[in-house]
């Protein structure tokens, strides 16, 4: 009898639904140019990114590496999450993105997610670190 061992998908496989090359090039303040990728993420990861529990650049969950939400510096990629993540969410979200005063942003984001996730996935444009 042939027995195949089923292995569950990795966390990455379950949450990064698609990565596609993009023609978008961004220019950094210091003049470096970077190509971006289109990355489609699961609703769970998007919510974590919106709520500051996961890094928008490297997708590290802060809890896993012993960091609080919205850390001043992501242990993995060095992003200043506290300062930059909300700006990157707004900047890199494809299509509609949440706007409004900071204190109501989380509610708006959740409302946005509920509406947005009538589609199976959402796309953000992410820095291509490859
Ligand atoms: Zn990071």
pLDDT in tens, 58-103: 999 999 999 999 999 999 999 999 999 998 888 776 643 333 333 3
Residue listed under structure tokens 């971006």: 36
60 Cα–ligand 1 center, Å: 6
28 Cα–ligand 1 center, Å: 17
Residue 31 gets the label, from left (phi > 0), alpha (psi -120 to 50) or beta, of: left
Nearest of 71, 84, 72, 74 to residue 29 by alpha carbon: 84
Q: Do residues 124 and 50 lie in contact, with contact meaning Cβ atoms separated by under 8 Å? A: no
85 Cα–ligand 1 center, Å: 10
**Rounded Cα–Cα distance for residues 39 and 121 (Å):** 10
Q: Please, what is the average pLDDT of the chain?
A: 75
4 Cα–ligand 1 center, Å: 36
Mean pLDDT to the nearest integer, 40-48: 87
What values do phi and psi take at 120, rounded to 5?
Answer: -70, -25
pLDDT at residue 52 greater than cutoff 90: yes
């Amino acid at each position: 009898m042939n027995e195949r061992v089923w292995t569950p998908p990795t966390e990455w496989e379950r949450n990064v639904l698609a990565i596609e090359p993009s023609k978008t090039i961004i220019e950094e303040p210091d003049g470096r140019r970077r190509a971006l990728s289109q990355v489609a993420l699961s609703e769970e990861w998007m919510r974590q990114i919106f709520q500051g529990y996961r890094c928008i650049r490297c997708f590290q969950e802060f809890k896993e590496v012993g960091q609080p939400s919205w850390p001043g510096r992501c242990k993995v990629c060095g992003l200043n999450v506290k300062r930059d993540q909300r700006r990157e969410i707004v900047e890199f979200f494809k299509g509609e993105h949440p706007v409004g005063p900071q204190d109501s942003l989380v509610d708006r984001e959740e409302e946005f997610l509920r509406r947005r996730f009538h589609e199976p996935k959402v796309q953000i444009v992410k820095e291509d670190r490859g």
